[in-house]
Amino acid sequence: MPKKPSTARSSTSKKASNTAGAQKAKTAGRTRTTAKRRRKKPNNVRWYHRLLPSKGFILFLLLSGLLVFALGMLVLDYQIRAKFDGKKWAIPARVYARPLEIYEGMKLKPEELQRELAGLGYRAVKEIYQVGQYSQHSNTNSHSYRLFTRDFIFADKTQSAARYTVYFDRSKSIVSRVEGVGDDLVLRMEPQEIGSIYPRHGEDRILVKLENVPALLGETLIAVEDKEFAHHHGISLKGIARAMVANVKAGRFVQGGSTLTQQLVKNFYLTRERTLLRKIKEALMAPLLELRYSKAEILEAYINEVYLGQSGPRAIHGFGLAAQHYFNRPLNNLQPQHIALLVATVKGASYYNPWRYPERAKKRRDTVLAIMAKNQLISAAQQKKFAASPLGVVKRSSLKLGDYPAFLDLVKRQLRRDYRDEDLQSEGLRIFTTMSPNVQELTETAVKTHISRVNKAKQGNNLQAAAIITAVGSGEILALVGDRNPRYSGFNRAMDMRRPIGSLVKPFVYLSALALPEQYTLATRLDDSPVSIPLADGSQWIPKNYDQQSHGYVPLYQALALSYNQSTARLGMEVGLPQVINMLQASGVERSIAPLPSLLLGAVDMSPLEVSHLYHTLAADGVYTPLRAIREVLDTENQPLQRYPLASEPRLPPELSHLMHYNLQATMRMGTGRKAYNDLPDDLAVAGKTGTTNGQRDSWFSGYSGDHLGVVWVGQDDNKPTAYTGSSGALPIWSRVFGQLSTHGISNQQPDNIHYYWVDDTNGLLSAKDCQHAILVPFIEGSAPTTTTNCQHTDAPITRWFKKWFGR
């Protein structure tokens, strides 16, 4: 039978079972609570989703974004087309000197040709073999130059590079023969570029068309900068990957992945800033550019746009200008090693500057040559040969186009009469001027040398100078210097400085008298005693001679030759101030002149340019010609826009001009200009006049040969007195220039109504060839003396400087 305790155990089990159930229920409750909590969480997620945009809205945003992107691409496309189809660049005006034309019989010294060649950047070699070279050859009687000229486009024709030989007759300083010339028998050298008129941003370029670009240049550029150019659509993934690999291997940035198209976009359309936005624009615009334009158009634009160097404030853009900048030759005259150097500079024009870092530039050039050989553009033998050659760049000193600031200032002023500044800075005009590099260099050297010497001698540094050389007859200005430092681009004294001209006015006082042949001739006796002239305010004007001496009665020609003040003032008052003013204005003075007695001794302010106008009329036998610095202007297609033809007008009778030629030649032989023959050949007939103002504040000289007129001023900007007269300050500069210049003497062609007579120098009466004091003097018909003096024959007549020219 079961025992009682078992009932107790059953009760305990039951209790335990109840406890376990309760625990299970509690656990189940917790589980249900947790489940409830978990079931609430999905309700929270669904609430958050309700805050997110719907699929329709997301689609709207995507479509809107695509629309904005499309509009942005349209804007970029418009920007690309607007600039690429329009005027891509502001092309500066290019300014050229006059071309040297060489022909048989031309008066030209070998050293003058040498200076022209140096200015053009020609290189001396033993034997010429490429353009831009010359060689010299000499024998007993002749001297010759062999030249290999460059291509050049003139207004009348395109002149191709060619070989010539120029022979000189040493004894006569003339060209005896020219070999290689055509039917016109003239060798026309390409003109030297002397400057440009470029925009304020300073970019300069010479535009070239792709068909005129050497094939080797285009192929080398592609091989070095963008191998996949022919195949990609603006962006090259291969190029980017290749660049990444190269940079990782090198551990630094050694190669870029930009295509030529991307580089063009960056340089042509975008700024230089390194930002993500710029890179994005570049990546978007490159394919658009490829979509719109052919590879040929893109390559041509790149060749004209790329930055390749710096010349002072002028940025060198494009291979056309770079060829001139580095090698002083046209693009199509470059050799393979030259092309390699230009392509080498694309990577960094400053970093590979061949003047500043020649070893670095050569290493990069040789790398380009290796790439050219690898791509079979040149042979291995050529690579070795070219790599062994020097860089071949011109001397850095020959690169500056701002070397002639005073002359360019004159050119710009004359251009502004016909053209706007905007046109001069952006239309690519080609301006052909009258400047002679040879004459310019002679004038600059004479000014610098003389002023430096006198400043040093006087232990000061105050003297300044200006000078102008003009071609007689044409009125073309060949040289202009506006400062003792010809490279100074500030105040242009040749044009803007107006100072009293002193005795330079005297020839026009005497011309006014000689215009009255019934009263005055070259032999007329003038009174050089003291003179007192009443003025309007009741005071007296009492001019004195420079030597403070009076000379009694002297022949008119001698009073001018020796620049006597007293006789000149008396003569001017006798003739009349209005007549003197009329003579000055007929000869070229355009400003009004006050009718004051002091005018007779040069109290009238003029610039050296105005004096040149005045004296050119004398030098040109009385024919007035406006002086000019420009011959013609061509547009970008080399079509003439405007020519500046010779415009002349007879102002003075030929007989008056002949008398003044005679008188001013006397000035140079026996008067105040006689020291000039320390530098001049004795057989060169020149005429001129010195000028000195009160206190020797201004030193002037104006003189001419048969071909050239020169005007020189020396003085101080503060108008203080100097130690120099016209013969000691300005004349030495003039005589140094004319002593080295190839020029003909004055022809002294005798007008029909001029007759020569022997007269007595002491009384002005008729004399004879072998009589004492006899001189040969020209007279206007009907004005010669009729009374004969007593002749005292002599074996030693006075010096007849005139005999060799007048044939008497």
DSSP-assigned letters across all residues of 554-578: EEHHHHHHTT-HHHHHHHHHHH-HH
Paired tokens of 260: 């030529």
pLDDT of residue 210: 92
Percentage with pLDDT > 90 across the chain: 62
131-135, 159-163, 260-264, 784-788, range with the lowest pLDDT: 260-264
C-alpha–C-alpha distance, residues 89 and 201, integer Å: 12
**Edge-to-edge, what's the strand order for the sheet holding 687-692?**
477-481, 463-471, 708-716, 698-704, 687-692
C-alpha–C-alpha distance, residues 384 and 364, integer Å: 15
| Residue 338: band (very low, low, confident or very high) from pLDDT cuts 50, 70, 90 | very high
Do 668 and 563 contact (CB within 8 A), yes or no? Answer: no
Q: Which residue has the higher pLDDT, 474 or 796?
A: 474
Angle, vertex CA 282, rays to CA 281 and CA 283, nearest 5? 90
Q: What single-letter amino acid sits at 33? A: T
| Pairing assessment for the beta strands 640-643 and 754-760 based on DSSP bridges | unpaired
pLDDT, tens digit (0-9, with 9 covering 90-100), for 678-689:
999 999 999 999
Do 679 and 727 contact (CB within 8 A), yes or no? Answer: no
Q: What is the largest CA-CA distance in the chain?
A: 205
What is the total residue count of the chain?
Answer: 808
pLDDT of residue 4: 44
pLDDT of residue 11: 45
Total Cβ atoms within 10 A of residue 290: 18
pLDDT higher than 90, residue 544: yes
Q: Which residue has the higher pLDDT, 801 or 733?
A: 733
Q: What single-letter amino acid sits at 322? A: A
C-alpha–C-alpha distance, residues 111 and 132, integer Å: 18
pLDDT of residue 1: 40
Reading phi first (left if > 0) and then psi (alpha if -120 to 50, else beta), residue 185 is in: left
Do 712 and 726 contact (CB within 8 A), yes or no? Answer: no
| Residue 361: band (very low, low, confident or very high) from pLDDT cuts 50, 70, 90 | very high
| Residue 8: band (very low, low, confident or very high) from pLDDT cuts 50, 70, 90 | very low
| Residue 335: band (very low, low, confident or very high) from pLDDT cuts 50, 70, 90 | very high
Owner of token pair 């039978």: 1
Paired tokens of 272: 């230089």
Give the mean pLDDT of 512-525.
97
Report which of 677, 701, 716 is spatially closest to residue 801, judged by C-alpha positions. Answer: 677
DSSP letter string, 732-759: HHHHHHHHHS--PPP--PPPTTEEEEEE
pLDDT, tens digit (0-9, with 9 covering 90-100), for 702-752:
999 999 999 999 999 999 999 899 999 999 999 999 999 999 999 989 999
pLDDT of residue 397: 52
Give the mean pLDDT of 485-491.
89
pLDDT, tens digit (0-9, with 9 covering 90-100), for 549-601:
999 999 999 999 999 999 999 999 999 999 999 999 999 999 999 999 999 99
pLDDT, tens digit (0-9, with 9 covering 90-100), for 447-469:
999 999 988 877 667 899 999 99
1-5, 42-46, 95-99, 690-694, range with the lowest pLDDT: 1-5
pLDDT higher than 60, residue 254: no
Give the mean pLDDT of 286-308.
88
C-alpha–C-alpha distance, residues 318 and 258, integer Å: 19
Quick one: CA dihedral 336, 267, 251, 375, positive or negative?
negative
Total Cβ atoms within 10 A of residue 134: 21
Q: How buried is residue 450: exposed, middle or buried, by Cβ count under 10 Å (0-12/13-18/19+)?
A: buried
79-88, 363-372, 623-632, 698-707, range with the lowest pLDDT: 79-88
Do 656 and 513 contact (CB within 8 A), yes or no? Answer: no
Give the mean pLDDT of 608-622.
97
244-248, 291-295, 391-395, 691-695, range with the lowest pLDDT: 244-248
Q: What single-letter amino acid sits at 486? A: P
Owner of token pair 């592609």: 222
C-alpha–C-alpha distance, residues 498 and 734, integer Å: 20
pLDDT higher than 90, residue 240: no
pLDDT of residue 90: 76
Do 618 and 513 contact (CB within 8 A), yes or no? Answer: no
Which active-site residues does the annotation give? 225, 503
| Pairing assessment for the beta strands 93-96 and 430-433 based on DSSP bridges | parallel
Percentage with pLDDT > 70 across the chain: 85
Phi, psi of 186 (to 5 degrees): -125, 130
pLDDT higher than 90, residue 93: no
C-alpha–C-alpha distance, residues 639 and 725, integer Å: 50
C-alpha–C-alpha distance, residues 727 and 720, integer Å: 18
How many helices and strands (H and E) does the chain possess?
24, 32
172-181, 556-565, 600-609, 662-671, range with the lowest pLDDT: 172-181
Report which of 596, 558, 546 is spatially closest to residue 724, judged by C-alpha positions. Answer: 546
Angle between helices 295-305 and 318-327 in degrees, nearest 10: 40
Report which of 663, 640, 643, 585 is spatially closest to residue 617, judged by C-alpha positions. Answer: 585
Cβ partners under 8 Å of residue 659, min gap 6: 511, 514, 522, 754, 778, 780
| Pairing assessment for the beta strands 203-205 and 314-317 based on DSSP bridges | parallel
